[in-house]
Amino acid sequence: MTIQWFPGHMAKARREVSEKIKYVDIVFELIDARLPLSSRNPMMDQIVQQKPRLILLNKGDLADKEQNQKWQHYFQEKGYHTLIINAQQNKGINKIVPEAKKALKEKLDRERSKGVKPRAIRAMCIGIPNVGKSTLMNRLVGKKIAQTGNKPGVTKGQQWLRSGTDLELLDTPGILWPRFEDQEIGKKLALTGAIKDQLLHLDDLAIYGLSFFSRFYPQRLVERYNLTEADTLLPAAELLMLISQKRGYRDDYDRASEMIIQEIRSSKLGPYTLDRWEELGALKDEN
């Protein structure tokens, strides 16, 4: 399974972000808690440069809680302010502004000492497709998205979204890197739904998912598909055939594959983290 996907609008979005980064105080980097490294854009450091950054591990409830804590600690050790949130369920959203203020403490203190009148923090939210960027922005600004107008020095027509009195968000599209240099990353993104299914062979993806769950969460396969522990030791392709038979799909492996993928995505096999903290060295090589 070879995945190469970089629509033209993604390239445009990357250019827009690079051009507008100078207008914000801080960047909210939104990543999928199930893919703490694979859902990050490898050009992010180059694009964001020295801007303060708040890393938001979104969809935290869909990820392995133990892995969440380890990844949060990992990013904090690298000097990033980090929160675990779930934008869909409105969990942790109220912590974002206070954490952003912590990240900007030196800047805010410096402005205060110069007598600069306090103003709302200006932020840009960046994330790859399907990571929850739109949901997060809607949570932050509420149902009525108000345009706060053009700020001094900002290009004409640039839209700012107000979140209370303390935060203004620059409305920019998400971005995705131009290619998957490691196919493993592509498979992980595909399994979580970040890539259109039309670009994939569903049986390959289902086999990948089964192989992962057999390795890290075998008991969940046993319970969900009425398997034995010995069954989970089968090669993933054989396991796919077995599950297909047990679910009454007979030799319709495409249908079985689609079912397995959807059940993984909808958390019917429970929370999971594809980027394993304990395999950090290998993951760094992938990225």
Encode pLDDT of 223-282 as tens digits: 999 999 999 999 999 999 999 999 999 899 999 999 999 999 999 999 999 999 999 876
Scanning 83-235, the segments in alpha helix (DSSP H) are: 96-103, 105-113, 133-141, 183-191, 202-216, 218-225
CB 196 within 8 A of CB 207: no
**Residue among 159, 147, 130, 170 nearest 28 (CA):** 170
Cβ-contact 51, 261 below 8 angstroms: no
List pLDDT tens digits, range 176-210. 664 566 788 888 989 998 877 766 789 999 999 99
- Taking 80 as the threshold, does the pLDDT of residue 285 lie above it? no
**98-151: pLDDT as tens digits:** 999 999 999 998 988 999 988 999 999 988 878 898 899 999 998 645 444 444
Q: How far apart are CA 129 and CA 119, in angstroms?
A: 31
Residue 226 — left, alpha, or beta (φ > 0 → left; ψ -120 to 50 → alpha)? left
Query: What does the pLDDT look like over 25-62, one tens digit per residue?
Result: 999 999 999 999 999 887 888 888 889 999 999 999 99
Give the chain's count of helices (H) and strands (E).
12, 6
Share of the chain above pLDDT 70, in %: 85
Taking alpha carbons only, the member of 185, 195, 189, 231 closest to residue 210 is 231
Domain definitions of the chain by residue range: 8-170, 201-286
Which pLDDT score is estimated for 243? 97
The β-bridge relationship of strands 26-32 and 81-84 is unpaired
Q: How far apart are CA 219 and CA 6, in angstroms?
A: 37
Tokens 């640039």 correspond to what residue? Answer: 158
Top CATH class of 8-170 equals alpha beta
